[in-house]
Structure 1
C-alpha cells in the first residue's frame, strides 16, 4: 500500500521505517525539519533508539518536500507530529500549579496542509492522527478542517522512546477510533501487513481517552509501588516481597509490571500526560482531581528520597552524586526523567550535586574519595561499579550488590 508519514521525529521515523521494511509498504515521509531528518539518515548511530541504525542501513525513506507530495503519493497518511507541553510540564522539575493542555499548533497545521492538498488534488485519502491528544481535541481542532476527500481515524501508538521499533512491531493491541467503521479498513490493512495483534475499534473520543488513560494508569502503578517502598523502608517490611505477593492476585491486581519500588514515573509521555489529565480534571470540574494528586505524589515521593539523601550526606559529610540521567535503563533519553527531578530538588535545597550518566555523557566518573551515591537510573553497569571505601550507595531499585567497605542501602528492602 502507498503510505505517507508526516512527522519524522524520534517516534515517527522509526515507525515509518518499520512500515517500509517490515510490512513492505511504499512509504514517503515528510518533516518540517528536513535537514535534521537527512542528517539522521546519513550519520547513522543509534539516536537513542534500539534497532534504528539497522533500519536506516536497509535504506532510508523517500522524503517529500511538502505535505502535498505526501498526499499525491499515499492512500493512507499518518500524522505523528509533536503535541508538546511547555518544558516546565515535562516531569524533570516540579510542575507548576497552573496546569495546561498540550499545544496543538503543529498538529493543526499538519492536518490543515493534508486536507487542503487532498481537496486541491481531488484525491480521497485516509488521514490517521497518531499524536497524543486529550479527549475532545479532534472534535475541537480537527473535524472542522476535514473535507469530503478526507476520512479521519485516530490511532495513537503505545510505544516508548528507545524501544519504539520493538513496541511498534509487537504492541499489546492496536487502537483505532473513527466516526464510521468503514473508515478503519485501510488502516487495518496497513497494520495487517506488519503484525497480527488485536485491533480495538471505537469512537474517536473514546480512543483519545484510552491513550492518555493508559499512560496515567501506568503512572498510578508507579506511584503505588513507590508508596509501598516508602512504607517498607519505615516499617521493616520488604517491598519486593509485598509486590511479589500482590502479583499473584491476577484477577484483581492484574500484574506487577510498573509496580516495583524505584524512581518515579518517567519518559516523554507519562509525567506530562498525567499533568495534562489533571488540567482536564480541573477544566471538567471533577468531584476530585485524583490525577493531580498523583502528579503531586510523584514529586513528593522524589522529595522523600531527597530527604533520605540529605540525611546521609549530612551524616557522612560526603558529596552527593546521582548515577543516571536517563528515564529508563540502557537509554540516552532523559525526557521526564525522575533522576533529573531528584537532582533539581536537591539543588533547590542548596546542595551541590554531581550528576553522571555513562550512556548520556559517554563516560563514567570513578572518584577516589567516598561519596553518597544515588542510583537514579537502573543501568546494569552500575552493579559492576567499584565505589571508594566509605561511600554510601542508595538504591531505590534494589539491585545493587554488597561491596566491601561500602554501605549499600536497597531502599525499602530487608536484604
Structure 2
C-alpha cells in the first residue's frame, strides 16, 4: 500500500521529513499555522539553511507530490499517516520541555479525522508524553475512526539532515500494536535494509534524550580535560588524539573547544534532568548538571583568553567574531556559543564585529545590538583580536598573512581548535586556544 502522508509542523525537522518522503515517491501534505511560511514553502523558498534541502523541496513541488497548507481539516482528510514534527523548546525560567505545540496539534487534528489513520510523533519529548497523547487522540477522534499512535524519534544532524533521513543508521519504532509497526515498516521500506528496533513508547521516548545526553557528556568530558590541561600545561588536542585510538572511546565528539549549542543538546539534557526528578530518578542524571556547567564554562574561558591577549581588558578593543551559527553548515543560532561569547564581550565594552556565511540574518534579528560584517576580512579589519568560534571551512582555511594584513594586532583565539598553531605563530600571530599551552 502507498500511504498518503501529512507532516505537521514545518520547522527544520518537518520540512526535511516532508521533502524526503516526497522524494521517496509518497504524496505529502505539509501543515503549518504560519501562513507566511506556508506561502514561502509552496513557492519553493526554503526558510532555513540546509545543504541539499532546497533542491529536494523544489523537486517535490514540481512533481506535484508535495504541497503545504494551513488547514487541519484538509490534512485530516488527506493523510493515512500523520507525522508530528513540532518543537519542544525549554520552558522559560525552568528546565522542563514545553510540549504545548504537540498538545495543540492533537487537539486541532483529531476532531477532523474521517478515516482510520496512524499518528506518528517524531519530536523529542519527556517520558510519558506519547501515552498521554495517545489517550487524548482516542478521546477526540470521531466515533468509528481508528486512530493509533506511534513514536518514531528523529536523529538528524544539522548540515546532514537529508542524508540522515534517507540513509539513517537506525530506525526506532515505538508502538503499542502490530498494525502500527507494520505501517511504519512499510513506510520506511524504500530506504532499504536499515537496522530497525521496535520498542514501547517509553523506550522510544528515552532513545533520543539518552543519545543526546551521551554525546553531550562526551563533549564535556574532553572539555573538562581541557581545563585540566590548562592547569597542568598539557595539550588537550594531543590528549584527544591519543584517546581516540582506543576503540572503546573513539574520536567522534571528542573535539575540545568552546562547547556545544543548538536547539537539541542543551535543552534536551535539561529536560531529561527535569523529567527524571519528577519520576524520582533525579540522582541517576545528576552528572548532567556538571556536563551542562562544563559546557557553559568553556564559553567563559574563550572570553578570558581574548582578555588575556589584550592585557587584561576588553573595554574599547575591536573584536572580530568569526561565526554566529552554533555549528557550520547551518544558520541555527539557538544557544550559539559564538553569539554567547560575542554578547559577553560586547557587555564588557568590546567593539564586536560578527561574520557568518549563513546565520547573519538570524543573528541580526535576535542580537540587534551587535555589529555585523559581510566577510571575514571585513569583520577583522582594524581588529585587535580575532575569535574563531564556528568552524566553517572558510575560516579553517584562512591565510594568516592575508588576515594579518587587515588587523590592527595579530591576536587570535581559536575557540574550536581547528587551526595549526605553528603556522599562525610563524606568521607573527599570538595564538590561544582552549586546553592548549
Query: What TM-score do you get using the length of structure 2 for normalisation?
Result: 0.84
Q: CA separation of 1:367/1:29 partners in 2, compared to 1, >3 Å: closer, same or farther?
A: closer
1:193 aligns with 2:206: no
Specify the alignment match of 2:398 in structure 1.
Answer: 384
Specify the alignment match of 2:419 in structure 1.
Answer: 400
What SS does structure 2 have at the residue aligned with 1:233? helix
1:131 aligns with 2:99: no
1:287 aligns with 2:283: yes
Shift of 1:105: 1.8
What SS does structure 2 have at the residue aligned with 1:261? coil
> Deviations for 1:116-148, whole angstroms, at most 9, x for unmatched residues?
222xx2x11111011111111223344233256
Q: Which runs of 5+ in 2 are unaligned?
A: 140-144, 361-372
1:71 aligns with 2:73: no
Task: Tell me if the contact between 1:400 and 1:410 (Cα under 8 Å) persists in the aligned partners.
Answer: no
Shift of 1:83: 2.0
Task: Tell me if the contact between 2:44 and 2:54 (Cα under 8 Å) persists in the aligned partners.
Answer: no
Distance in 2 of aligned mates of 1:64 and 1:396: 43
Task: Tell me if the contact between 2:38 and 2:70 (Cα under 8 Å) persists in the aligned partners.
Answer: no
CA RMSD of aligned residues (A): 2.4
> Deviations for 1:61-82, whole angstroms, at most 9, x for unmatched residues?
2234422322322221111122
Task: Tell me if the contact between 1:108 and 1:142 (Cα under 8 Å) persists in the aligned partners.
Answer: no
Specify the alignment match of 1:223 in structure 2.
Answer: 220
Shift of 1:268: 1.1
1:359 aligns with 2:372: no
> Deviations for 1:193-247, whole angstroms, at most 9, x for unmatched residues?
1343211111101111111111111111111121122322332322222222222
Q: Which runs of 5+ in 1 are unaligned?
A: 89-97
Alignment of 1:62-211 (within 5 A): 62-86=67-91, 99-118=94-113, 121=114, 123-146=115-138, 149-211=146-208
Q: CA separation of 1:351/1:229 partners in 2, compared to 1, >3 Å: closer, same or farther?
A: same
Task: Tell me if the contact between 2:230 and 2:435 (Cα under 8 Å) persists in the aligned partners.
Answer: yes
Distance in 2 of aligned mates of 1:129 and 1:245: 41
Distance in 2 of aligned mates of 1:339 and 1:56: 30
What SS does structure 1 have at the residue aligned with 2:119? strand
> Deviations for 1:273-307, whole angstroms, at most 9, x for unmatched residues?
12212322333342362222222221122222222
Shift of 1:367: 4.3
Alignment of 1:9-28 (within 5 A): 9-21=11-23, 23-28=24-29
What SS does structure 2 have at the residue aligned with 1:193? helix
Task: Tell me if the contact between 2:258 and 2:434 (Cα under 8 Å) persists in the aligned partners.
Answer: no
Specify the alignment match of 1:5 in structure 2.
Answer: 7
Task: Decide which moves more: 48-57 or 283-292.
Answer: 283-292
- Number of matched residues? 398
Shift of 1:20: 0.7
Task: Tell me if the contact between 2:50 and 2:329 (Cα under 8 Å) persists in the aligned partners.
Answer: no
Q: CA separation of 1:58/1:370 partners in 2, compared to 1, >3 Å: closer, same or farther?
A: closer
Task: Tell me if the contact between 2:321 and 2:379 (Cα under 8 Å) persists in the aligned partners.
Answer: no
1:49 aligns with 2:62: no
Shift of 1:266: 1.5
Specify the alignment match of 1:93 in structure 2.
Answer: none
Q: Which one of 295, 309, 312 corresponds to residue 309 of structure 2?
A: 312
Specify the alignment match of 1:374 in structure 2.
Answer: 387
